[in-house]
Structures are given as C-alpha cells and as structure tokens.
Homo-oligomer: A and B are copies of this chain.
Amino acid sequence: MEKLTIKDIARLADVSTATVSNYLNGNYSRMSEKTRKRLEDMIRETNYVPSSVARGLATNHNKTIGVSVADITNPFTSTVLSGIYDACGKLGYTVVFTNASSDSTREIDNVNKLKHQEVSGLIIDPVDAENAIFKTLSNDSTVMIDRQAAAVKIDSVVTDNYNAVNKFVGNMKKSGYIDEDLYFISWPLRNVSTRLERYRGFKTATGIKDDSHLILVDDSGDDQYFISQIKQIVDRKRSGKVGFFTMNGRVLLHLLKAMQALNYRYPDDVGIGSYEDLDWMEIIQPGISCIHQDSFNLGVTAVNTLVRKLEDEKTKHFVPQLIEVPTMIKMRGSY
C-alpha cells in the first residue's frame, strides 16, 4: 500500500488541493454539495488519511500533547495515564509519553525534550513540583497533576488531600481513638504537596501542633529503626489502641511488614487507615479502610482543562487554578 497524498485525491476528484484541504478541515461552505460528495466518496474509497506530520508543519499545531509522569510503575500513575489517553482519544489528540522514574533530573530532560518535540500542550505529573524548569512553561499550554507547587503558577489537578484525611482521621476519632494515640506515617515530606497536605489534614483532625506524631519511612535500607519506633509507640499508648494512618499504599506495606515482625494484628492490637486504594487492600484479611481516589478522572480532568486552554483562541494568559477532584472513603474494618 503506497501512501496517497492530498495531491492524489485532488487529481482523482478533479479539484485543487486547496479544496481537498478545505474538505478535510470541515470548511464545507467553501465548496458545492456535489464536490463535497465526490471528495467524501473518494476519500472513503481510497482510505486516504492526511499526514499529520505535514499538517503539523503547516499549522504549527499538531494535536499531540506531551506527558511527563513521575513514575509509570506506580499504580496511581498508570491509572492517571489511562485517563489521559482516553480523554485525548476522544478529543482527537495523540499522546507522547515520557517517564521520569522518580528522578528530578530526568524530569528536566523530559520536559525539554517535549518542548522541542513541538507538542501542542503539556501534562506533567511532577517528581518535584518546585523544579525550576516549570517556570519556563506557560500556563497557556500546560497543566500539572497530583502534586502542586507552593505557589501555583500552572493549573494543577489534584485530589482533595487535606479534606479527605481530615475527614478520615475524624472518623477514626469518632470510633474511639484519641488524639494522643493517632500517628501519621509517611515518606519524608520533602516539600511534596501531597504529603504535606495529607499531613496537614491529619494535624487538623487531631489538633496536634508539633511533629511528634509524624513517623517517616523510605524504601531504601531496612526498616529496623522504623520497626522499633512502631513498637515504642504501641508500648507507650495512652488509651486502649493506637491508630496509624499511612500516606499511601507503599508506606502501608512497610507498616504491615513491621507489624508482622512485631507480631501485632489489626484491628485488635492497632488500628490502620491509609490513603490510596490498591486491589490487594480489599483481599487481605481484614481489608484496609482507606481513601480511594479517582485517578482515572484526574487524568481526564487534566486533559479537558488543558485542551480547553489550547483551543480557546481569544482568551490567553489564564489565571492559574487549583482543581480538586473528590475522593471516597472505603470502610473495610482495619480500625
């Protein structure tokens, strides 16, 4: 199958390329009903599809959006990407994909590459929302996802981290946990907005002002120190039971590992709650009560707000907005 060009179609339909071009772009008012039909048939018969590359060159707008994700391996991220792809498809956009593997340096490379790739717009799920590279981006053609910068200069689509945790931990209190025996477990905060916001929600709910109830873990090294902290907390509990809230699924995994090592069981020995809802959380015994986020919708929303900006010719220099996507609490009996 040789590739047809607009010239071929023009010749076959006995019109000029300009007319074909107009047809392709829906400018039907600029041709007779007859030639329109003729082109319609011609194109269907020949299965002709215009070259998006050539079109991109001519219009400087190729209907592709560049995506940079922090870590595609994260189940949250892949669902977001799924939403992005779906929404793009519906709007006729192509997505070129980029992955930072949680490395801020690679994130910079990715954004630069994407900029030079001449994409129409950018969606970024940032490793580091404060990265200087983002200051080189215009809010007119980019939106951020999940993590927001302290000073939002670019539209950001995020989950309602603060409110969700505030409410969830509030529920824990209602079922008997006291402030002094509630703890927030997280990756090192490192100025990452999701962590900060969720923690802020925890602090509001418990009224704890200092960081004495903040426990940190990370993926590197063993968990010896972490395990000893958990033990100490449980040993010194003030009330009947300690309640832990983990910042996400992987942190929860660390907690479960530690509890295993210490031979603690939930919900009897301690109570557990978590941000993020992963498939295994409803299978293990008992299921984990958690905050479920609609990550697919996050992706869709990002695309829609981006494309709205891209295709809105008149108004430019939009004022940066923070768009919060609601979450859902799933009760499964882990506290």
Residues of A participating in the B interface, judged by any CB pair closer than 8 Å: 49, 51-54, 56-57, 62, 64, 67, 72-75, 77-79, 81-82, 85-86, 94-99, 101, 113, 116-118, 250, 253, 256-257, 260, 278-280, 283-285
The CA-CA distance from A79 to B74 in the complex, in Å, is 9
Q: Which of A56, A62, A283 has the most CB of B within 10 A?
A: A283
> Which residues of the other chain, B, contact A99 by a CB distance below 8 angstroms?
81-82, 85-86
Instruction: Please pick, from B49, B95, B116, B256, the residue contacting A97 in the complex, using a CB distance under 8 A.
Output: B95
| Given A94-B117, A96-B94, A54 and B57 contact (CB-CB distance below 8 Å) | yes
With A51-B118, A72-B82, A78-B73 as contacts: A96 and B64 at CB distance below 8 Å: yes
- Who on chain B is nearest to A51 by CB? B118
A62 to B118, CA, bound (A): 13
Name the contact of A116 in the complex, choosing from B49, B253, B256, B257 (C-beta under 8 A). Answer: B49
Q: How far is the CB of A249 from chain B (nearest CB, A)?
A: 9
Q: Are A82 and B95 in contact, CB atoms less than 8 angstroms apart?
A: no
Evaluate contact between A72 and B57: CB separation under 8 angstroms. no
> Which listed residue, B78, B79, B260, B280, touches A285 by the CB 8 Å rule?
B260
Closest chain B residue to A66 by CB distance? B94
| Contacts known (A73-B78, A75-B75, A97-B97); A118 close to B250, Cβ less than 8 A | no
Query: Across the interface, which residues of B come within 8 angstroms of A54, CB to CB?
Result: 57
A51 to chain B, nearest CB (A): 6
CA distance A53 to B51 in the complex (A): 11
Say which residue of B51, B67, B82, B94 sits within 8 Å of A73 (CB atoms).
B82
- Assembly CA distance A260 to B99 (angstroms): 38
